[in-house]
Amino acid sequence: MNKFILFLFCIISAASSFGQKAIAKKKSFISVQFDHTANGKSIVLNDSTYTTAFGEKYKLSKLKYYISNLTFITGKKVKPNKNVSLINAAGDQTIKVEKPLLPTTGIEFWVGVDSILNCSGAQSGALDPLNDMFWTWNTGYVMFKLEGTADSSNADLQRLEQHIGGYKGEFKTMRKVFIPIDKKYFTDKKRGADKIVINVNLDNYWNGKNKIRISEQPMITTIGNAAKDAAENLEGMFSVKNTD
């Protein structure tokens, strides 16, 4: 009899603890949205013509890249967000992350995915090879992919393909980005934003630390110096858009 009561007690307490988990305190989330621009205009794929700083005209058909470990930097150390997202100008352009509860100095993320994920075999979600961001002959993810056409391209059909990848040694292409954010961005109730917009300025892809001329390198489809040089420009493309 006593044993029965004890057993019952166990079941009830187990059940109630399950219930508590289900209604764990509600976290609030914020959407980080990536807006793509060139020449001061929003990018429209397969439509507008843009011009690089070196006067080379190009059109875009694809713009995809990985954003990983996106974290808000506060005074307190937080567990880094290990998620990986594939931002696609023709698809998903927002990442939902937990809203920081403390004043934030900035947002940090990697463009690309780390070497461990490049060596982890078959994966799903953003890292599914079906996303066409995977090199099959020299294993590794394409961190950043831009495709289109350009007048100055000497490639077949005036193709423009910038597949920036490589995760090992001197040919690493993933780049860490830190963007400062106004301290009050999240704490000030009037600006209690649930969205933050990151501007991704393609002009800086061509004209950054390195000067990239389409006529010289219309096709980058392997690891190497060209991909490494282009990767140096990735960081400078990202800034926080001054929105409401």
Partner 1 sequence: MKLRVISYFFFFVISSLALMGAGKYLYAPTPIDFKIPPGFPKPPTNIFTKNKLTEEGFQLGKKLFYDGRLSKDGEVSCASCHQQFAAFATYDHDLSHGVNNSFSTRNAPALINLAWMKEWHWGGGINHLEVQPLFPLSAENEMGEKLDTVMIKIKKDSAYRRMFREAFGSGEISSERMLKALAQFTGSLVSADSKYDKVKRGEAKFILPEQKGYEIFKARCNTCHKEPLFTDNSYRNNGITLNRFKDVGRQGITLQNSDSLKFKVPTLRNSALTLPYMHDGRFTFLDKVLDHYTNLDTTLVNLDPALQKKIVLTFKEKQQLLLFLYTLTDTTFTKNKRFAP
Using CB under 8 A, list all residues that contact partner 1. Answer: 1, 4-5, 7-8, 11, 118-124, 128-130, 134, 136-140, 171, 223-224
What tokens appear for 3 in the block? 């044993």
Q: Give the pairing type, strands 195-201 and 29-38.
A: parallel
Select 11 or 24, whichever has its Cβ closest to partner 1: 11
Length of the chain: 244
Q: How far is the CB of 89 from partner 1 (least distance, A)?
A: 20
Distance CA 139, CA 190 (A): 48
The Cα angle at residue 110 between residues 131 and 50, in degrees rounded to 5: 70
H helices of the chain, in order, are: 2-22, 115-118, 203-206, 225-231
CB-based contacts of 20, cutoff 8 Å, min separation 6: none
Q: How far is the CB of 13 from partner 1 (least distance, A)?
A: 13
Q: Please return the burial class of 64, using the count of CB atoms within 10 Å of its CB with bins 0-12, 13-18 and 19+.
A: buried
Q: How far is the CB of 50 from partner 1 (least distance, A)?
A: 30
Select 170 or 244, whichever has its Cβ closest to partner 1: 170
Distance CA 222, CA 227 (A): 7
Select 46 or 138, whichever has its Cβ closest to partner 1: 138
Going by C-alpha positions, the residue among 144, 38, 37, 32 that lies closest to residue 92 is 32
Select 8 or 44, whichever has its Cβ closest to partner 1: 8
What tokens appear for 143 in the block? 């961190």
Select 22 or 26, whichever has its Cβ closest to partner 1: 22
Structural element, H or E, at residue 206: helix 203-206
Select 9 or 29, whichever has its Cβ closest to partner 1: 9
Select 73 or 142, whichever has its Cβ closest to partner 1: 142
Going by C-alpha positions, the residue among 167, 185, 172 that lies closest to residue 228 is 172
